[in-house]
Amino acid sequence: MSKYSVIGKRVHRVDGPEKVTGSAKYTFDIVLHNMLYGKILRSPYPHARIVNIDTSQAERLIGVKAVVTGKDTLGRKQSTWRRFPELCDEEILCRTKVRYIGDPVAAVAAIDEDTAEEALDLIEVEYELLPAVFDPMEAIKEEAPQIHEGVELNINVTRHIEWGDVDEAFKQCDYIREDHFKCSSQAHVCMETHCAVASFGYDSKLTIWTSTQSSYYIQALVADMLGLREGDVRVIKPHTGGGFGSKFELDSAQFCASLLSMKLCQPVKIVLSREEEFTATKRRTPMYYSVKLGAKKDGTMLAKEVRVITEGGAYTGMGATALYLTGFFSSFPYKYPNYRYDGYRAYTNTAPASAMRGFGAPQSTFVGESQIDMLAEDLGIDPIEIRRKNGMTPDYEVPGQAHIQSCGLHQCLDKIDEHIKERGELPPNRGIGVSAYGFMSGGIFNWFDTPYAFSAAIVRINIDGKVDLFTGACDIGQGSDTTLSMICAEELGVHLDDIRIHAADTGICPADLGAWGSRETLMNGNAVKMAAADAKRQLLEFAAAKLGANIVYDMDIKDQWVHMVDRPERGLSYFDIVKDTIRGRDGETIIGRGHYTPHRKGMISPAYSFGVQAAEVEVDTETGKYKLINVTTAHESGTVINPVGIEGQLEGAVMMAGGYGFCEDQPMDEGKILNPSIADYKLIRSLDMPETKILEVDTYEPEGPFGAKEAGEGLTNPTAGAIGNAVYKAVGVRINDLPITPEKVLKALKEKKQQAE
């Protein structure tokens, strides 16, 4: 029998019944009385000075209630990097200059969307065009136009990581190779576009319902941008239609709706169109990689040097973190004794590039896993073997950076090795590629400069035993409401349906940094567990007295039974104890509190998950087209809290990360994204979706709640690399720039044939 009664069970999601009946309300569905609809006017030019904006005609249109421009703002600039003022570079409503096609210049509130749309056409903006630069390799040249004042060579951020003596180590290597890679952009394509309903009232308080990954960040940033007190801004996250990294920065819908509502004291709703979603929200950061890798003859990797220049787009966003993480995860999941990373983020006149699921690690994993396969081939070593030889192990110290406690990489390698052997001899033009990865369970970063704990939770027990769980964690679809309810139920010793979760409403929930960096299960999970334990302790104090238990006995609650651990038959009903405790405390409510901030866990994350993936492809050598046949993943994420949730994360990651390797791309012409619609932006649909197989490896993470760690973003890391390696195994061509399209494969096949002739 499992030692847990809730954790690890296949349960229905707590938001399931609402979602399968269409009754779940999203921001997109919210309609308030007297509500207006907003639209945003955006720059058609990649780089231009705003000479004048004439809104008078638009204001005269019947049905238009207000038009705002940068002049109506406090002129502040923001980003989530609040600790670093020079990185707070985004005004949202531009006052003097636009920096990409899609930069907002004005916003309208009207009685309906059609009227607001019509009003946008009546706003006259006079621009003075400026020379623009789109390619980061051009942007860093002396002669390139300067995108932000005072930023030389358009270098927005640099990041450096180094340990060991890299130069000396390369001298010891028997074999060194240098390679160059290009990682493309990717759109998040959340099914619910960015949207917000803002309502500022005559009580001078602002309420925002919004599709977000962090209600706390939005609360703090909106308050700062609009000159309000944080406590007067309440951000509520209803059900949210996906985030994937695109929704934890302040966006134009949230800001413009709030600004308009403040001006009118009327609710304003703004929903971005799908085209705006593609062109004017942030996207995955494109990266140019140069990598030097050195090894001994036996495959021991001695040194790695990585140089990255990223296409930052017009603003910082979360791009600075992506730049750092791609550098750190370029060393994963291997024990490089000597490592150097220099990363540069260049401003360009393109849509800002920022966070997307994996946060820089899908790029570094594609690059790293492609190159290690090349190295293995050069040295005549099996790809699994070279990964075994260098792979991280439990209790490994990444020099000066991080301490890895649990790590099941080697078991994952064994499982994938078995899987490949089971597949046996493959037909011609088929190949299996392998890719290994690791990822963090939440970041130990406080660029936001929050004074609060990273996560917090409150547990309140009602007289009938029903538990209210309050947390700032944001369920954006990944299932944190369910996972956290399960953790709460397990710790408190009650059933899942005894828990009612109230999440991501800053008016009633404690602050939490939100859903990014795969942090909720570990960080919020720890806070919830602590809060539940605090509430439980209050019940146990009473129960011990009531039972007259000898103080040497430990008390606990399991399955709604309050009992002595060593004599489980001696106990009382949870429901009776709740009633008695409240009565015995003069009616005082039972409230448990918990919080979590990682301490002494290095600079990056309190815990890391690992895995190995094998992708099998079949290539048509006539056309270059290839089919994803099967993607099998051996992974470990510590104790599995919510198995249905993990399956969903894994299979969903194959769709998204497979798309990154296979077909998703955002081609541009002079800063204009050429495929801003779902018809033109190619995603993996059901017919292209490969078979997926999951091979679980058991580990236990001491830092995580009940031993759990990350299972969200890490799974996005390996697939592009695995596909690249599979294509190589199948037909012997290596594609170094993503996505690996049929055109590139065909071209490479032709070149290979020509060389052979």
Partner 1 sequence: MSYHCPVCNKVSSSAMDLARHMIGRGDKVHRDWISSKGFKYSEFLTLQFKSFGGEGYKTLAKILEKETKVED
Partner 2 sequence: MKKELRFTVNGQPYELYIKPKTILVEVLRAHLGLTGTKRGCDSSSCGACTVILNGMAVKSCSVLALQANGGEVLTVEGLAKGNELHPLQKAFLDHGAFQCGFCTSGMLMSSKALLDENPNPTKEQIKEGIDGNICRCTGYNSIIRALTGVVKGEYKEEK
Q: Please identify, using beta-carbon distances, which residue of 11 and 412 lies nearer to partner 2.
A: 11
According to DSSP, the residues that pair with 109 across neighbouring strands are 38, 66
Binds 380, which of partner 1, partner 2, none (CB < 5 to 8 A, cut-off by type)?
A: none
Name 615's bridge partners. 433, 631
Q: Which listed option, partner 1, partner 2, none, makes contact with residue 603 (CB within 5 to 8 Å by class)?
A: none
Q: Are 195 and 27 a contacting pair, CB within 8 Å?
A: yes
> According to the binding rule CB under 8 A, does residue 87 interact with partner 1?
no
Q: If contact means CB under 5 to 8 A according to the sort of partner, which of partner 2, partner 1, none does residue 1 touch?
A: none
Among 683, 713, 744, smallest CA distance to 365 is for 713
If contact means CB under 5 to 8 A according to the sort of partner, which of partner 2, partner 1, none does residue 576 touch?
A: none
Question: In this complex, which beta carbon is closest to partner 2, that of residue 47 or of residue 247?
Answer: 247
Please identify, among the stretches 159-167, 366-374, 584-592, 646-654, the one whose residues bind partner 1 according to the rule CB under 8 A: 159-167
Task: Name, in order, each residue with C-beta under 8 angstroms of 384's C-beta and a sequence gap of 6 or more.
Answer: 413, 416, 417, 420, 434
479 binds, among partner 2, partner 1, none (CB under 5 to 8 A by kind): partner 2
Give yes or no for residue 567 binding partner 1 (CB under 8 A): no
Residue 335 in the binding site for partner 1 (CB under 8 A): no
Binder of partner 1 out of 167, 418, 497, 588 (CB under 8 A): 167
CB-based burial label for 205 (10 Å; 0-12, 13-18, 19+): middle
Cα-based distances in Å from 504 to 239, 428, 431, 472, 695? 10, 52, 45, 4, 33
Q: Which residue, chain included where needed, has tokens 């640099």?
A: 158
Minimum CB distance to partner 2, residue 654 (Å): 5
Q: Which residue lies nearer to partner 1 by CB, 144 or 673?
A: 144
Q: Alpha-carbon distance 195 to 176, whole Å?
A: 50
Residue choice 151, 508, 663, 689 for contact with partner 1 (CB under 8 A):
151
In the complex, minimum distance from the CB of residue 535 to partner 2, in angstroms, rounded to a whole number: 29
Q: Taking CB under 8 A as the rule, does residue 401 contact partner 1?
A: no
Q: Give the HSE-up count for residue 391: Cα atoms under 13 Å, Cβ half-sphere.
A: 24
Among residues 305 and 710, whose Cβ is nearest to partner 1? 305
Q: Which residues contact 446 (CB under 8 A, 6 or more apart)?
A: 83, 454
Per CB under 8 A, does 83 bind partner 1? no
* The two three-digit tokens of residue 55, written as one number: 């809104």
Q: Does 305 bind partner 1 (CB under 8 A)?
A: yes
Choose the binding region for partner 1 from 152-160, 202-210, 598-606, 718-726 (rule: CB under 8 A): 152-160
Of 314, 307, 309, the C-alpha closest to 347 is: 314
Q: Which of residues 174-213 bind partner 1 (CB under 8 A)?
A: 178
Q: How far apart are CA 226 and CA 255, in angstroms?
A: 9
Q: Reduced to 3 states, what is the DSSP secondary structure of residue 144?
A: coil
Determine if residue 548 is left, alpha or beta; phi over 0 gives left, psi from -120 to 50 gives alpha, anything else beta: left
Using the contact rule CB under 8 A, the part of the chain among 144-152, 453-461, 617-625, 643-651 near partner 1 is 144-152
Residue 654 interacts, among partner 1, partner 2, none and using kind-specific CB cut-offs from 5 to 8 Å, with partner 2
**Residue number with CB closer to partner 2 (23 or 158):** 23
Distance in angstroms (rounded) separating the CA atoms of residues 481 and 391: 34
Q: Candidates 99, 159, 345, 415: give the one binding partner 1 (CB under 8 A).
A: 159
Q: Which does 159 bind (CB under 5 to 8 A by kind): partner 2, partner 1, none?
A: partner 1
Per-residue DSSP letters for 482-506? HHHHHHHHHHHT--GGGEEEEESBT
> What is the phi/psi pair of residue 584, to 5°?
-70, -10
Q: How far apart are CA 608 and CA 757, in angstroms?
A: 48
Binding site for partner 2 (CB under 8 A): 12-13, 15-26, 28-29, 188-193, 239-242, 244, 273-274, 476-479, 644-645, 647-648, 650-656, 677-679, 683, 685-687, 689, 691-692
Q: Which does 140 bind (CB under 5 to 8 A by kind): partner 2, partner 1, none?
A: partner 1
150 contact, one of partner 2, partner 1, none, CB 5-8 Å limit per kind: partner 1
Please name every residue paired with 290 in a beta bridge, in sequence order, or none if there are none. 180, 307
> Does the footprint of partner 1 cover residue 160 (CB under 8 A)?
yes
SS3 call for 441 = coil
| Residue 414, SS3 per DSSP | helix
The nearer residue to partner 2, 213 or 261, going by C-beta atoms, is 213
Residue 593, C-beta contacts closer than 8 angstroms, at least 6 positions apart: 456, 457, 458, 459, 530, 531, 534
Question: Which neighbouring-strand residues pair with 303?
Answer: 294, 338
Asked if 138 interacts with partner 1 (CB under 8 A), we say no
Q: Which of 757, 639, 615 is nearest to 703 (CA)?
A: 639
Residue 616 Cβ vs partner 2, minimum distance, rounded to whole Å: 15
Site for partner 1 (CB under 8 A): which residue of 59, 86, 117, 377? 86
Task: Round to whole Å and give the CA distance between 549 and 555.
Answer: 9
153 binds, among partner 1, partner 2, none (CB under 5 to 8 A by kind): partner 1
In the complex, minimum distance from the CB of residue 142 to partner 1, in angstroms, rounded to a whole number: 6
Near partner 1 by CB under 8 A: residue from 342, 377, 620, 651: 342
Query: Among residues 68, 93, 101, 140, which is the contact residue for partner 1, using CB under 8 A?
Result: 140
- Helix or strand or coil: residue 285? coil
Binding partner selected for residue 155 from partner 2, partner 1, none, CB under the kind-specific 5 to 8 Å limit: partner 1
Report in angstroms how near the CB of residue 308 gets to partner 1 at its nearest.
10
Q: Which amino acid is at 257?
A: A
The answer to whether residues 130 and 47 touch, using CB atoms and an 8 Å cutoff, is: yes
Which H or E run contains 339? strand 338-347
Residues 70 and 59: beta-carbon distance below 8 Å: no
* Residue 344's binding partner out of partner 1, partner 2, none, with CB under 5 to 8 Å set by partner kind: partner 1
Binding residue (CB under 8 A) for partner 1 from 218, 220, 256, 309: 309
Q: Which residues, in sequence order, are CB contacts of 448 under 8 Å at separation 6+?
A: 80, 81, 82, 83, 217, 220, 513
Rounded distance between C-alpha atoms, residue 84 and residue 78, angstroms: 10
- 385 counts as binding partner 1 under rule CB under 8 A: no
CB of 181 vs partner 1, minimal distance in Å: 15
Q: Which partner from the list partner 2, partner 1, none does 673 bind, CB cut-off 5 to 8 Å by kind?
A: none
> Which of partner 1, partner 2, none sits in contact with 152, Cβ below 5 to 8 A by type?
partner 1
Rank residues 19 and 83 by Cβ distance to partner 2 and give the closer one. 19
Closest by CA to 176, choosing from 433, 330, 374, 337, is 374
Is 340 among the residues that bind partner 1 (CB under 8 A)?
yes
Give residue for tokens 């828990």: 499
Q: Which does 17 bind (CB under 5 to 8 A by kind): partner 2, partner 1, none?
A: partner 2
Chain-centre distance for alpha carbon 559: 35
Under the criterion CB under 8 A, does residue 168 sit at the interface with partner 1? Answer: no
E-assigned strand segments in 389-447: 396-398, 402-404, 430-440
Whose Cβ is closer to partner 2: residue 220's or residue 650's? 650
Q: Residue 682 binds which one of partner 2, partner 1, none, with CB within 5 to 8 A depending on kind?
A: none
* Contact present, 491 and 532 (Cβ < 8 Å): yes
Which residues contribute to the site for partner 1 (CB under 8 A)? 86, 140, 142, 150-153, 155, 157-160, 167, 178, 290, 292, 305, 307, 309, 340, 342, 344
